[in-house]
């Protein structure tokens, strides 16, 4: 039973059937009343039934006599993250999502999803993981377990938590194992599709193999990262800056153990810094791009994401960075994999 079926009941059903269904879905006890086309009519809670019984209504009365006729709903593709956050603040936990015909197409349960980011996603999962051999001789690197589940599953679950429904996986090396593990995504309540390179296409070239992206923004990320990046804040920063592309970055510090002299052209000392620390920002392998940027990427050619970034700058389009202030680890080597096994005991991803 999917989440819509779980929370929907026909207006022709009985009060007793509604009460039984509410009991089954407790503690998220709210039903949305629909007609035969799944069009939203109203909502029903335990409290609505109680108030109806107090007024003298009974089990033989029509279900519509108990229903609240003006439930809060979200219009598909016509909401913003601030609106959803306000719903959270107002303690609205379960909200139907309706299309232009007021037909319920999805339900946002804040117990399951933090928000709804209007974007698609693609995870790059085709690498051989040569530096992690022999671990990757018979297992693709994204399926190596950290703690109790594969590396890539942490990323997929995190995307699902912010409402990403359309996830694409770019696979190659031992890719059938990844397909077998996740299937079509229905077990997680999302759609997962796969594209497969028949030759190396770089770190983003395979994105053109995806048949269709449903949203105008696309999250692109490496599948072998462990991170608790705040995708909601990342996406909001990207939107508010009106960028064409955003890249997440991790800070990298260099401490100089000596005093550093700043010297002018005439060899005159201009300043002195005692044991300074320099901070640089490194590409973290997580991006958001406008769908229109796909037109820049050459078809069936090796093309790295850094090539795309350079082209964006050459075209005077807007590229912004987003600092990851939380946890981030690129699991590329054996020492990284060992560190991940220890870190996962103490952090929540």
**Residue 203 · residue 123 · CB < 8 Å:** no
pLDDT digits (tens, 9 = 90+) for 318-336: 999 999 988 999 898 899 9
pLDDT at residue 1, as a whole number: 62
- Of 230, 217, 245, the closest CA to residue 318 belongs to 245
- My answer on whether 243 and 167 are in the same domain is yes
Average pLDDT in the chain: 89
Residue 45 lies in a domain: yes
- My answer on whether 155 and 236 are in the same domain is yes
- My answer on whether 134 and 189 are in the same domain is yes
Residue 115 lies in a domain: no
Domain containing 70 equals 3-109
Assign residue 105 the CATH number of its domain: 3.10.580.10
pLDDT-based confidence at 279, cuts 50/70/90?
A: low
- My answer on whether 249 and 146 are in the same domain is yes
- My answer on whether 125 and 100 are in the same domain is no
- My answer on whether 249 and 322 are in the same domain is yes
Residue 349 lies in a domain: no
- My answer on whether 17 and 78 are in the same domain is yes
Assign residue 320 the CATH number of its domain: 3.90.550.10
Residue 224 lies in a domain: yes
The mean per-residue pLDDT over the stretch 57-76 comes to 88
Picking from 78, 109, 140, the residue at the C-terminal end of a domain is 109
Residue 348 lies in a domain: no
pLDDT digits (tens, 9 = 90+) for 203-262: 999 999 999 998 999 999 999 999 999 999 999 999 999 999 999 998 776 777 777 777
All residues at 6 or more sequence positions from 148 whose CB lies less than 8 Å from its CB, including other chains: none
d(CA 63, CA 59): 9
**Residue 208 · residue 303 · CB < 8 Å:** no
Using alpha carbons only, what angle is made at residue 264 by residues 258 and 269, rounded to the nearest 5 degrees? 50
Residue 114 lies in a domain: no
pTM metric for this prediction? 0.84
pLDDT-based confidence at 269, cuts 50/70/90?
A: low
- My answer on whether 199 and 105 are in the same domain is no
d(CA 271, CA 223): 45
Between helix 46-54 and helix 15-25 the angle, nearest 10°, is 140
CA 213 to chain centre: 15
Percent of the chain with pLDDT over 90: 52
How many domains is the chain built from? 2
**Residue 167 · residue 159 · CB < 8 Å:** yes
All residues at 6 or more sequence positions from 286 whose CB lies less than 8 Å from its CB, including other chains: 219, 220, 221, 222, 225, 227, 229, 234, 247, 248, 324
C-beta atoms surrounding 5 within 10 Å: 9
């Amino acid at each position: 039973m999917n989440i819509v079926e779980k929370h929907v009941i026909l207006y022709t059903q009985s009060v007793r059937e509604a009460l039984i269904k509410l009991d089954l879905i407790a503690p998220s006890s709210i039903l949305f009343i629909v007609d035969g086309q799944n069009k939203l009519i109203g909502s029903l809670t335990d409290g609505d039934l109680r108030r109806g019984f107090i007024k003298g209504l009974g089990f033989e009365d029509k279900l519509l006599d108990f229903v609240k006729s003006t439930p809060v709903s979200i219009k598909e593709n016509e909401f913003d993250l601030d609106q959803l956050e306000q719903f959270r603040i107002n303690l609205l936990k379960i909200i139907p999502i309706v299309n232009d015909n007021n037909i319920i197409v999805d339900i946002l349960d804040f117990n399951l999803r933090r928000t709804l980011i209007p974007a698609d996603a693609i995870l790059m999962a085709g690498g051989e993981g040569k530096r992690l051999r022999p671990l990757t001789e018979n297992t693709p690197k994204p399926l190596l377990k950290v703690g109790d589940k594969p590396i890539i599953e942490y990323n997929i679950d995190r995307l699902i938590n912010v409402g990403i429904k359309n996830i694409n996986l770019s696979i190659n090396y031992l890719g059938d194992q990844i397909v077998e593990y996740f299937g079509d995504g229905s077990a997680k309540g999302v759609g997962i599709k796969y594209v497969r390179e028949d030759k190396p296409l770089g770190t983003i070239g395979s994105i053109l193999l995806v048949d269709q992206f449903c949203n105008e923004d696309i999250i692109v990320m490496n599948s072998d990262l462990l991170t608790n990046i705040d995708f909601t804040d990342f996406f909001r920063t990207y939107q508010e800056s009106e960028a064409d592309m955003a890249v997440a970055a991790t800070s990298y510090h260099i401490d100089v153990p000596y005093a550093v002299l700043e010297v002018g052209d005439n060899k005159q000392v201009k300043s002195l810094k005692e044991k300074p620390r320099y901070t640089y920002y490194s590409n973290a392998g997580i991006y958001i791009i406008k769908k229109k940027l796909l037109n820049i990427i050459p078809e069936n050619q090796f093309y790295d994401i850094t090539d795309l970034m350079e082209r964006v700058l050459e075209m005077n389009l807007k590229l912004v960075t987003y600092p990851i202030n939380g946890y981030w680890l690129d699991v590329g080597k054996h020492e990284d994999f060992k560190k991940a096994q220890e870190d996962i005991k103490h952090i929540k991803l």
